[in-house]
Amino acid sequence: MKKIIIAISILGCLPCLTFAQDNIERDTLVPIEVQRQIFVYGAAKKYNDNLIQLSTLYNLLAYNPNNSAILDSIALVYFDAQQYISAALVSADALTLNPKDELAAEIAALSFEQIGAPERALKYYETLYLLRNDIMVLYQISFLQYRLKRFNEAMTSADIIIANDVANEAKILFPKEDETELEVALKTAALRLKAMVYEAQGNVLEATKIYKEVLLISPEFDLVKKQLQDLN
C-alpha cells in the first residue's frame, strides 16, 4: 500500500466550518475561538502532543460535526498513535459523511485490517479501489478475498491485475531468507496468489505449474521456493 499522505491541512478546514445560524449568533466570538483552536492544534502537532491535538480537533468538531475533513484529521492522529480501533470508527463515520473521501477509506481499510477484522477491511478496500482505481489496492483486496476463502473472487481480482500493464511496473517487497528484501513485480505477486488459491482448492497440479512459472520470472523468490517445496 502506498503510504498514507496527509491530504488535509487543518488550516484548510477553517473556510469549511459553517455554523447553523439558528444556534450561533453573528456577534459571538466563535470564529475567534475556532482560530484559537487551530493555532493550538498546529502547536500541538509541531510538538508531537497527540492528546492536545485530539482535544482541539474534537473542539472543532463540536462547532461543525458534519465536517468529514475534521474527522479525517482525528482518524490520522489515532492511526499514527496505533489506536486502530478508534481510527477505524472515526474514518468510517467520515466516509458516511463523504462517500468520496479517499483518505477515510484508506484509514478505515488499514485500521480494520490491523485489528483483525478482514471482512470490514475488505469492504473499505473495495470502496478505496472504486475511488482510486489503483491495482495495488486491488492486490490487497485479492489477498483478503483469499484469506476469507472467497476463492473465485480472489482469482478474478488476480486476473485483472495480471492483465493490467501497470502490474509489470508496480513493485512489492517480500522478505528473503537472509533477512533482506526482494522486489517483485505486482504481476508476479498476483501469479503467486493464483497458485495459492489453486493450492487451497486442492488443485496441486495447477498450483505447482504456476509456482514454477513464478520462479522462472523471479528465481530468488524464497517464499515461493518454500511454498513449492511444501506442496511437493
Do 95 and 10 share a structural domain?
yes
Higher pLDDT: 209 or 15? It is 209
The pLDDT of 150-154, averaged and rounded, is 98
Please identify, among 77, 107, 133, the residue that sits at the C-terminal boundary of a domain.
133
pLDDT digits (tens, 9 = 90+) for 177-187: 888 999 999 99
- Residue 104: what pLDDT? 98
Q: Exposure pattern of 178-188 as b/e (b: 16+ CB <10 Å)?
A: eeeebebbbbb
Do 182 and 92 share a structural domain?
no
Determine, yes or no, domain membership for 144. Answer: no
Do 42 and 128 share a structural domain?
yes
| Beta carbons within 8 Å of 158's beta carbon, 6+ residues apart | 142, 190, 191, 193, 194, 197
CA neighbor of 135 nearest in space, from 162, 173, 100, 110: 162
Q: Check pLDDT > 70 for residue 44.
A: yes
Mean pLDDT of the chain: 87
Domain of residue 178, residue span: 150-232
The pLDDT of 153-168, averaged and rounded, is 96
7: its cell numbers: 491530504
Do 155 and 68 share a structural domain?
no
Does the reported pTM lie above 0.85?
no
Domain count, the chain: 2
pLDDT digits (tens, 9 = 90+) for 94-131: 999 999 999 999 999 999 999 999 999 999 999 999 99
Determine, yes or no, domain membership for 142. Answer: no
